[in-house]
Amino acid sequence: MSITRLFRVYTYLYRQTRYPMISPIEGFSKLTKEEKVDWISEKYTQNKNASKALLKTYWNTDAGVQKLHDEFIENTISNYYLPLGVAPNFLINDKLYALPMAIEESSVVAAASKAAKFWLERGGFKTKVLGTEKVGQVHFMFTGDTGKLRSFFQKVKPKLLQSASSITKNMEKRGGGVTDIVLRDQSDLLDNYFQLHCTFETRDAMGANFINSCLEQFASTFKEEAKAYTDFTEAEKDIEIVMSILSNYVPDCLVRAEVSCPVKELLVSDSISAQEFAQKMVRAVAIAKVEPHRAVTHNKGIMNGIDAVILATGNDFRAVEAGMHAYAARNGRYSSLTDAAVENGIFSFSIEIPLALGTVGGLTSLHPLVKWSLEVLQHPSAEELMQIVAVAGLAQNFAAVRSLVTTGIQEGHMKMHLLNILNQLGATNTEKKTLIEHFKKNTATHSAVVDAFEKLRN
């Protein structure tokens, strides 16, 4: 038997010994939470008692709050906690904010706070909402005369809007609703592919359920009306609705945030002049504009700030991420979401991004900490939240690029990461205090922290 074959047999036997064959389970969702915890701990962990104890440690002691969490998703067995921090001193359009941020990454909240304080003394952040249009599409296949399809669409469009009137009624009372439906021929991209491209205004709601309900009604009406359209042949009447779904790419739901000041006010360090710092900032952003490898990391830093506020306010960070990165590649090449320039002695730093957010509905009225976060933000409208979130991204990016072109990213990051390393090493409170003081004057690399800890303990 070959060595490779022997190794495979050994690996198989080892796995069977350590992880015995597990049979599929029927009706898992119907078990109680305690039964789910027992089953997953017994079947998939090495120490079922430790697993059960760990999961129960993170149950909320308030039964009402825990029940709320249990009902957010299916098969809940525990809660997964992220730190919730606050970054103060954000001056946005001459109004002072403290930004709630839910994130696990070291240095993000500190960096945001540092950027906020820096620009507080230089006029703060200026923001403007450029559009609030959201998008949904009915995707369908049509084989036949496209001229007849266009004529059919023009006749049926009023009926589509009328058919959804019961869905749109309440939204229209709040100033929202369907703003347009357009027929798009995409058959050059995919044979026989067309779509109803629909736009919406959802006011302070993110509007996902509203949009999807409208789209499904449009699809149903469109298909039924096609069957009765006398100008179609029998084959043309058989329109295939593939799917009806909102889009998380919202290039016309835009917000802009910016900061600016005279170059001479950009004194950030004794080791670099204001002029040199401004020049380096502009060059760093220019590199992120043309080099996708850099742009991805550059924009990831922006999302550190954006995602943290979105999570804290109960919005969908995955939808925002997907739409944001699509927007970064809208010109055919992935690029920076921020801009920097120096003109007539004035340094400016800005961001323009698509953000579809909500402050009513969903978790915003259910999750206690989401409600708290919105209260801290002074109960913003959806448009105000767009501006706040854009500022969080801009501040985070300014802080990151500032570090990169001056001291380097690791100095600040590792000092914030220091406690994580010390906790991993099992340092006592006294040891932590001593080592934190030590690394105020020394570079905090992982190996340096381990060495200092071992010397101290020995």
- The residues assigned a catalytic role are 105, 300, 316, 413
CA distance 141 to 242: 7
Work out the angle at residue 131's Cα, subtended by the Cα atoms of residues 126 and 135, and round it to the nearest 5 degrees: 140
* Residue 313 phi, psi (nearest 5): -100, 10
Residues ≥6 apart with Cβ < 8 Å to 117: 89
CB 134 within 8 A of CB 199: yes
From the number of C-beta atoms within 10 Å of its C-beta (0-12, 13-18, 19+), residue 65 rates as middle
User: 331: which residues sit within 8 A by CB, 6+ positions away?
Assistant: none
Is 112 within 8 Å of 99 (Cβ atoms)? yes
Q: How far apart are CA 277 and CA 268, in angstroms?
A: 8
Q: Cα(285)–Cα(342) distance, rounded to whole angstroms? A: 12
> Which residue in the block uniquely carries the two structure tokens 């919005």?
315
β-pair partners for 91? 96
Q: From CA 135, how far away is CA 207, in angstroms rounded? A: 10
What is the spatial distance between Cα 286 and Cα 339, in angstroms, rounded to a whole number? Answer: 8
